[in-house]
Amino acid sequence: MKDQVTLLKGRVQQASLERLVDGISDDSVRSLLAGLVLGLRLESWKKTAAPFRRIGVAHLLAISGMHLGIIVAFAYGSMHLIRGSPGIQAAVSLAFLFIYIFMVEWRAPIQRASLMLCIYAILWMARRRCRTTGILVLTATGSIIHQPGEIFQAGFQLSYLVVFALASWAGIVQKRWSPRLTRTQHPGMKSISWCRSMFAVSVLAWLTATPIVLHHFEIISPLGPVLSVILFIPTVVIVILGFLRIILFAVIPPLDGGLCFLLEFVASSMITMSEWADSIPWSSFETGRPPVLITIMLLAGAAAWARYGVRHLYWSCRQLRQRVQFIQGP
């Protein structure tokens, strides 16, 4: 039974790949689409993905919870537009999730993210309140029990620590960096506020991921937060359009030409932008591997910044220093 499912999944992946890259001749574009939408690695993948890794946006290419979240958000938003009930919205989102999971390469990040989203969707349909951090801890515990060695893997650490930081402190950082929106606010100001909010989240993710990346891969990418925000939009467009092209390839043929053109244009633009950013001399720095203690201290510093902010930390340290001086006496 397991072999039959594996064989069927392989056929579905191959058919999905053929539909996705049909009519696209550029090897780099084909490789980017296959990796970004399906998690498949074609022959030119290493060459295509190298600039993205160096500039600190490799997380956009790796099939993970973000990609599943894009598909689920697309399905949920589509059902919300047609005013479906919350239960139907969750059910359709879960169906889209299962379809997409069956298409993509079944890697460890996908397994972890799928489990989290399934638990969240089931609780949502049951009208049960749930905390993201609780689901995160539950899935992390299950992963460690199943494979204890995963805790030392970079992918495991990046997946859970970054998501934990975002779930715990993203709202706090956004409030500090972006003023609260009002209904009467000008659309331009809302766009600026949204960009600031996205940048704040990107900085939080970068500060959390950088110590781990530095420890495992010995590289720092200062432009990561800015480029993550800039390249996030084309990533969302490619994932959604790629998914739609695979689904609608044989159902609505007239749409295929337009989807193919848009996919090729957005992917080419994304590759060009990554190569341009990679050409900047200070876009990345290679360093030595820091000790584990330094990595832990950097993570603790990122958590303290996210929770309290620089100003609060400064005054807290100053008050602590004054208290120590008072205790020591003149």
Instruction: Extract the tokens encoding 287.
Output: 């360093």
Instruction: Extract the tokens encoding 197.
Output: 């909010």
DSSP state of 183: T
The residues near 145 (Cβ < 8 Å, ≥ 6 apart) are none
Tell me, what's the pLDDT at 234? 92
DSSP state of 223: T
What are the residue ranges in the chain where pLDDT is below 70? 1-3, 5, 83-87, 108, 121, 124-127, 178-190, 250, 312-330
pLDDT tens profile 34-57: 989 988 888 888 888 889 988 888
The CA R_g of the chain, rounded to the nearest whole Å, is 22
Integer Cα distance of 179 and 194 in angstroms: 10
Tell me, what's the pLDDT at 125? 66
pLDDT tens profile 255-304: 778 888 899 999 999 999 999 998 888 888 888 888 889 999 989 888 88
Q: What is the dihedral of CA 34, 38, 43, 48, to 10 degrees?
A: 60
Closest CA to 161 of 286, 271, 300, 259: 300
DSSP state of 219: E
Phi and psi angles of residue 129, each rounded to the nearest 5 degrees, phi first: -75, 145
Write down the mean pLDDT value for the chain: 80
Tell me, what's the pLDDT at 268? 93
Instruction: Extract the tokens encoding 12.
Output: 């579905």
Tell me, what's the pLDDT at 267? 93
CA distances for 321 relative to 22, 126, 144, 311, 317, angstroms? 65, 51, 41, 15, 6
